[in-house]
Amino acid sequence: MSTTVRCLTALVITACALGSPGSRAQTKPAPAYWITETIEVMDQAAFLKAIKAVPPIVKAHGGRYIVLGGKIVPGVGSPPSRITIIAFDSLEAASAWYNDPAAVAARTEALKFAKVRDSTVQGVGN
């Protein structure tokens, strides 16, 4: 193989490697989801007033509502009266939102008027 052919082959291989999307791919953290089930609401008006403070705090931490209320079709067991699912880019972002003093205050106020169960779960990374 001549020097010219070797040089051209090396150039083509290098160009292909640099132009390949996989060569620049970065590993994204797995997303995370905060899931809350509202089991019982003792005072609907007061509960709704308390949770009005939450959306701006969610947005400030990069969260996006996936489920907010909506019709629930029961499966196994008794369904909650309301489900909310908020997506975050990472478990760290979800934790930062959950521990934000404004979020803690809003949650504390809402818990005066409703019984809930909540969890944050790490999703599947891409």
For 22, residues 6+ apart whose C-beta sits below 8 A from its C-beta are: none
Question: Per residue in 29-54, pLDDT tens?
Answer: 899 999 999 999 999 999 999 999 99
Q: Is the dihedral of CA 42, 97, 55, 83 positive or negative?
A: negative
- Global pTM reads 0.76
- The whole-chain average pLDDT of the chain stands at 85
* Position 84, amino acid: T
pLDDT reported for residue 3: 52
Domain 32-122 fold is Alpha-Beta Plaits (3.30.70)
> Other C-beta atoms within 10 Å of 57: how many?
19
Flag whether pLDDT at 84 surpasses 50.
yes
pLDDT band for 125, please (50, 70, 90 cuts): confident
Phi, psi of 33 (to 5 degrees): -130, 130
Instruction: Write down the domain spans for the chain.
Output: 32-122
Structure tokens at 55: 């959306």
